[in-house]
Structure 1
Amino acid sequence: MVVSRTKYYLKAFLKAARLWLLVALGLVALGLLYYFLATVGPKRVGGSATVVTAPDDPAIARLSDEITALEKQYQQAADANVVTTESTEALAQAVDKQKELLRTFSKADLDQSTRLVRLETELDSVRARGKVLLVDRLEKDGEELLTAGKVDEAGEKLREALRLQKEVNLSAASSRYKNYVRETSLTQAVAAVEAAPLKKEMQAALVSARQAATDQRWADALTAYTAARDMQARINREYGRTRYADLAGADRLSAEIESLNAAGIATEIDVKEKAGDDAVINGRSAEAAVLFNDAENLQLQVNQNYPRSRFVSSQRIENLEIKRQTALSSDVANSLEELDRAIGVHLRKRQIVAAEQQLGEAGQLVEKLFKDYPKSRRLDGALRIKFAYLALRRSDLRALQDEVYDRLLPLPGVSNWLLLKTEVPQSLYVLVMNTNPSRNPGRSLPVDSVSWNDAQEFCTRLSWLLGTTVRLPSADEFRVALGGESAFETWNSRNSGGHSHEVGRQKTNASGFADLLGNLGEWSAADATDSRAPVVGGSYLDEPEALLKVPSEPRLKSDRARHVGLRILVEL
């Protein structure tokens, strides 16, 4: 028991001491590393040791005196503002001797180093003064030579000016002599001089390329355009900061090259499209569809392979596809148009059974046309709506026609134009339109609150049902139906009670028409471009005397009023 407890305490002690042992080992390792670097590390290899001379060495004193004398010689000339070659040379010797002093006397104080910096600055400033004057003259001469068109000589002057300005900027001269902006402008000027011949050569190649294209020498044009593009690309790459750089110009040249490569294909596209158009005119729809398909594939090839060519056109692909589908749909569209005419004839002759049989076939052709050829120009949305409407009314066709024809009378003097005896009743309007906008509802009451556009839609649908033209009568035709009578029974402001009444309740005129005056005003024909249309005949709101004058009121076609309805005219 005692042994086990002893082992337990020993393990606990070792575990606690482990961290301290690791820290101690780390410190020992760092100490060994420091000793190695301090004693065994790199040393000066080769060469003779520097001789350390004592500060009071007579040679040092003599050298210092020489430097002082040389500096004084220069300073006297500088103070007299007559710096000469000799005085400058004296300053240069002073610099060299000061460097020698610092090399020889390794423990020289800070003043000696400061003295060297001052001497070097003064020497570089003296030299820079002359260089700056020379840069001015070289730059001016270069600009004059450029103006004279002597590009090579100008380049030499500008390059020398740039070299000198760089020397000044890199020297220890005073900052007033340094000009980094000038160095930049000279760099650009030199680059422009070097780029100018390339630009001239590029422009000559471009002129040759355009002339070759005009002469339809496509191979020569392609070669010249390629040379021009390559030279412009070089200018952009090597002289990108000059005025001759033109990234957009290089892109345009690349586009011209691609256009030339695609020109042959573009010509073939034109030929095939023209042949397809001719085939359509001559009734060869299948052949036209093949030609349009070939042209479309070629245009797709141009778009994919020559994306920067001027012949690239997504719209042309779309147009060719429309032409292809139009050609392919011709047979179906022609059959559908024949069926439409045949159904119209059957409905006009009231041959309902024959019309119903062909309506089913027409519906199938319409769906095939819209499903298989959705981009065809032969698609007729109105025709699709028409057949969909007639399909919904197939079972009611006979009843609808009977309802309408029972209410028609010939317009006096025009036997094949039939006018509705009364205003359109709500029962008929609902049968045709499947809706009733009237605010005074009743099956036998005239439909009210219809706009002129609603009346037009009613006429259109009734035209489909009857297979003939149905429209609003004109104001003149309305007056023809009235005849020359001067007395009428009307629903007016005195007897109407302020609302409309059932159609046909008042006595008809000599021609058999009722409610031409009073009850509801009636929309009449108007030009489709006009914003207003006349409402004729007056209504239950008018005085009897006013109705005898056959009132006509222009109203906005969008108006809906409870005292306005309609009457229709059928052309057989």
Structure 2
Amino acid sequence: MSPGPHDPQSDYLPGKKSRPQKDWSLWERLWEKHGTPLMVGASVVFVIAAAYLVTEVQRNAGSSLAALSLAQAEELRQLSLKKEAEFESQRLNKAVIDDGDLALLGEAVQAQQDYLTSRGALASENVRLETMRRRYHVIQAERQRSISTEAEGKATAIAKSDPAGAIVELRRAVEAERLIESRWFFSGYADVGKIARLDTRLRRLEAEPLRAQTQALEAQAEVAFTAGRLDEAVKGMGEAIETEQAFVGKYRDVLDTEFARVERLSIRQETMRSHPLYLQTVAAEAAAAEAIKGYAKAISGAAQEAQATLAVQAFERALLAQAQLKQEFPRSAWATVARETAFAKQRNRWRSAGSLQDVETRAQTMAKYLRAGQAAEALDLARALREKLTRVEAENPGVVPPEDAMRRQLEYIVTHAATIQVILPKLDQLVAPVAGSSIRMMKQEISQGFYSTVMGANPSASMRENLPVESVAYADALAFCEALGWMCGRPIRLPTVAEYKAAMGDLALPPGAKNAWTFDNTDGVSARPVGSSQPTGAGYFDLLGNVEEWAQAEATDDFASVVGGSVNWVPVSGLPLRKALKREKSRTIGFRIVIE
């Protein structure tokens, strides 16, 4: 029997003994206890060393002066006295002292300073030094102030005629004032406010050419753009932007510029760059306009459909060009959502041209049914047309928005079906013909009940169904006419002043008490129920008195006539008539309507 396999050799290799880890806890405790004082001490030593190095030169100079003998120090004092005396002599003998004379006083100050340094600070001699030094600084400062004043005066005189020369003079003035501040400070003449004022004037003059330059560059770019030199215009506008940026960066604090001018110029430059694409949209719009003209002239349905297709294709091209313009030049003034929306709406409009034309044609049939009193047929057709418009809007968004006139009319007719069935048979009974015309006028004022039925609300201040509606503005009366016209399929409007006069007949005498509610037979405030007075021979009630009535006016006018007087009118002969703002609402103003 053979022996079994040998045991595998062990892979274990005995390693070296691990080194003992250092105990850092002791160092951490020491640092925690003494670290902060050590850092503070090191900082103090560093500051002292730096101060020592910085003042070494002064200390060496002071040491050399301190080593002078008493005789040498006295020589310095005598030199100072001598130089001061020489200066005083020159000052007495001359009307104007020069630089050489001032040098004598400067030497006297320096000699006295050296003397004090060699002997230490002597109070009596310090007073002399401070006096001489201040005197020296005052004289120097006065000379610089004279230069500053002279230069400023010259700059003021030539600022308009010679701006460049004024800039040179103002620089002299600023330099002189800054010299007083930095060198001759013991004079007490330093004027920070004056330096700031002169500097502002200087920088304003320096800024003006730069501002004029950027404006000129912009104007030149616009001229090039108008002339069709697009590359030149874009380059010129870029130069204008760079110049404006330099101006704003350096001079914005001293000279006003147009707010966000850099932004405006940048937008204008991008607008110029987008001009070729903009022209593509313009060309597409022009092609669409021609197709729309062709649609209007077309006789057959096929010809109209062909022109509508051309219009759709043109607006598609406009949309593509506009989308590219927005993507490549998003900051262009022409990269607007409004333009894109308008193109899309027009494209959708002409996509659905056939459906819209059909709705318009059938709406005329609906109006015929209403005029004939065939309410059921009209309502069925209105429901069908409303459904069709709803589908058109779903397929082509924006074509039939909520404010669309046809949509509003159909919505109103469908939602007021019951009211229409009641009003249609009775409407002819409520009107009477006006002599000498083809119109018919409402026999009585519009009552609150009638107004509420048509409009769904009653704005009157004093509410009662059979009282005339009041507190209505001119626009409210027009809205009522529009809604009632939808109901009956006829044009309805307010009467004109001439139609009122024709309906009233002879006005040579005041109305009788039974024919009109006026101040004579009422409290002058409260209106009476409509139709409660005696009618005229033509069958009209309250053409005079009760409430004033709005008369038809031009759409662009702010005023309209109100006629007939009210319960606070004192009856006299003639037609009561006044002008009122169309927005006026009064508890004594109502209206009536005419049917054409």
- Same fold (TM > 0.5): yes
State the distance in 1 between where 2:377 and 2:252 align.
Answer: 81
1:213 partnered with 2:225: yes
1:200 Cα deviation from its structure 2 partner: 6.6
Alignment match, 1:71: 84
Alignment deviations for residues 144-182 of structure 1 (CA, whole Å, 9 cap, x no partner): 88777594x776665455434322222235647545455
Q: Distance in 1 between matches of 2:479 and 2:227?
A: 61
Distance 2:587 2:98 in 1: 108
Measured after TM superposition, the shift of residue 272 of structure 1 is 2.6
Per mean C-alpha deviation after superposition, the further-off stretch among 361-370 and 334-343 is 361-370
Shift of 1:230: 1.8
Instruction: Assess if the C-alpha contact under 8 Å between 1:352 and 1:398 holds in 2.
Output: yes
Q: CA deviation at 1:236?
A: 3.2
**Residue matched to 1:127:** 140
CA distance in 2, matches of 1:41, 1:476: 110
Distance in structure 2 (CA, Å) of the matches to 1:33 and 1:122: 46
One-letter amino acid matched to 2:311: A
Taking the aligned partners of 2:199 and 2:348, their CA distance within structure 1 comes to: 63
Give the Cα–Cα distance (whole angstroms) in 2 for the partners of residues 327 and 333 of structure 1: 9
1:528 aligns with 2:552: yes
Contact 1:169 1:178 in 2 (8 A): yes
Within-5 A mapping of 1:383-532: 383-384=406-407, 386-388=409-411, 390-391=413-414, 521=541, 528-529=552-553, 531=561
2:356 equivalent to 1:333: yes
Q: C-alpha separation between the residues in 2 aligned to 1:78 and 1:186? A: 32
Per the TM alignment, residue 516 of structure 1 is displaced from its structure 2 partner at its CA by: 8.4
Q: Is the 8 A contact 1:229 1:250 kept in 2?
A: yes
Greater mean deviation of Cα atoms: 329-338 or 370-379 = 370-379
Residue identity in the other structure for 1:257: Q
Contact kept in structure 2, 1:370 and 1:379, CA below 8 Å = no
Q: Is the 8 A contact 1:522 1:566 kept in 2?
A: no
The residue that corresponds to 1:342 in the other structure is 365
Identity of aligned residues (%): 17
Cα distance in 2 between the residues matched to 1:232 and 1:567: 64
Counterpart-to-counterpart distance in 1, 2:171 and 2:111: 34
Q: CA RMSD of the aligned region, Å?
A: 6.4
C-alpha distance in 2 between matches for 1:197 and 1:471: 65
What corresponds to 1:59 in structure 2? Answer: 72
Q: Matched residue of 1:282: which SS?
A: helix
Aligned to 2:103: 89
The 2-side partners of 1:296 and 1:273 are apart by 10
Residue 301 of structure 1 and its aligned partner are, at CA, apart by: 7.2
Q: Check the 8 A contact 2:167/2:206 in 1, yes or no.
A: yes
- Contact 1:325 1:373 (8 Å CA) reproduced: yes
Q: 1:237 to 1:121 in 2, by over 3 A?
A: same
Aligned pair 1:237/2:260, yes or no? no
CA, structure 1 residues 101+221, in 2 after alignment: closer, same or farther (shift >3 Å)? same
Task: Return the offset for 1:116.
Answer: 3.3
Opposite residue 75 of structure 2, the aligned amino acid is R
User: How far apart are 1:455 and its partner, in Å?
Assistant: 11
In structure 2, C-alpha distance between the alignment counterparts of 1:293 and 1:348, rounded to whole Å: 42
Q: Choose 1 or 2 for highest CA Rg.
A: 1
Measured after TM superposition, the shift of residue 141 of structure 1 is 6.5
Are residues 1:364 and 2:384 paired?
A: no
Give the drift of 1:269: 3.0
- Return closer, same or farther for 1:100/1:305 CA change in 2, 3 Å cut-off: farther
- TM-score if structure 1 supplies the norm length? 0.59
Answer whether contact 1:95 1:119 (CA < 8 A) is retained: yes
Answer yes or no: is 1:225 the counterpart of 2:229: no
Structure 1 residues 534 and 318: alpha-carbon distance in aligned structure 2, compared to 1, 3 A threshold: farther
- The equivalent residue for 2:19 is none
**Amino acid in structure 1 at the alignment position of 2:88:** Q
| Aligned residue type for 2:82 | A
Indicate yes or no: 2:175 matched with 1:163.
yes
Q: Residue deviations 1:450-501, cap 9 Å, x none? A: 7899999999888767766799998999999xxxxxxxxxx999xxxxx99x
Distance of aligned partners of 1:528 and 1:108 in 2 relative to their CA distance in 1, 3 Å threshold = closer
What secondary structure sits across from 2:274 in the alignment?
Answer: helix
295-304 vs 206-215, which deviates more?
A: 295-304
SS state at 1:216 partner: coil
Q: Any conservation in 1 of the 2:137–2:187 contact (CA below 8 Å)?
A: no
1:288 aligned to which of 311, 329, 342 = 311
Inter-CA distance 380–337: structure 2 relative to 1 (3 Å threshold): farther
Is the CA contact 1:191–1:242 (under 8 Å) kept in the aligned structure 2? yes
Give the counterpart letter for 2:135 in structure 1. E
Distance 2:418 2:112 in 1: 123
* Worse-superposed segment, 393-402 or 109-118: 393-402
Specify whether residues 122 and 361 from structure 1 end up closer, same or farther in structure 2 by C-alpha distance, changes over 3 A only. same
Q: Do the aligned partners of 1:472 and 1:523 also contact (CA within 8 Å) in 2?
A: no
Contact 2:315 2:347 (8 Å CA) reproduced: yes
Change in 2 beyond 3 A, CA 1:533/1:285: farther
Of 450-459 and 283-292, deviating more is 450-459
Contact 1:448/1:565 (8 A) holds in 2: no
Q: Which moved more, 1:263-272 or 1:459-468?
A: 459-468
What amino acid maps onto 2:243 in structure 1? M
Distance 1:397 1:198 in 2: 74
1:191-227 per-position Cα deviation (integer Å, ceiling 9, x unaligned): 4665566567556645643442343212112222322
- 1:506: which partner in 2? none
CA distance 1:148–1:522, shift in 2 (3 Å):
closer
Report if aligned partners of 2:484, 2:492 keep a CA contact under 8 Å in 1. yes
Give how far 1:533 is off.
6.8
- Aligned pairs for 1:16-35 (under 5 A) are none
CA separation of 1:373 and 1:522: change in aligned 2, threshold 3 A: farther
Taking the TM superposition and a 5 Å limit, the aligned residue runs for 1:525-564 are 528-529=552-553, 531=561
SS in 2 for 1:167: helix
Separation of aligned partners in 1, 2:478 and 2:348: 33
Measured at CA, do residues 108 and 212 of structure 1 come closer, stay the same or move farther in structure 2, by a change above 3 Å?
A: same
Cα separation, 1, equivalents of 2:256 and 2:441: 82
- The separation in 1 between residues aligned to 2:291 and 2:195, in whole angstroms, is 71
The alignment covers a number of residue pairs equal to 488
Change (3 A) 1:462 1:63: closer
Retained in 2: the 8 A contact 1:429–1:458?
A: no
Query: Which of 259, 268, 280 is equivalent to 2:271?
Result: 259
Of 95-104 and 343-352, deviating more is 343-352
1:272 aligns with 2:296: no
User: 1-side partners of 2:398 and 2:265: how far apart?
Assistant: 37
Contact 1:526 1:534 in 2 (8 A): no
Q: Which amino acid in the other structure matches residue 269 of structure 1? A: T
Is this contact kept in 1: 2:485–2:491, CA < 8 A? Answer: yes
Deviation at 1:58, TM superposition (A): 3.1
Paired position in structure 1 for 2:9: none
Separation of aligned partners in 2, 1:62 and 1:114: 19
Q: Indicate if the aligned counterparts of 2:478 and 2:494 stay in contact, CA closer than 8 A.
A: yes
Query: Once the 2 structures are TM-superposed, how far is the Cα of residue 183 of structure 1 from its aligned partner?
Result: 3.8
Deviations 1:512-568 (A, max 9, x none): xxx986998377999634755779xxxxxxxxxxxxxxx99989999999xx99999
Secondary structure class of the residue paired with 1:108: coil
| Secondary structure in 2 matching 1:521 | coil
Matched residue, 1:101: 115
Distance 1:231 1:353 in 2: 75
CA contact (8 A) 2:230 2:273 kept: no
Distance, in Å, in 1 between the alignment partners of 2:338 and 2:478 is: 37
The 1:518/1:281 distance shift into structure 2, 3 A limit, reads closer
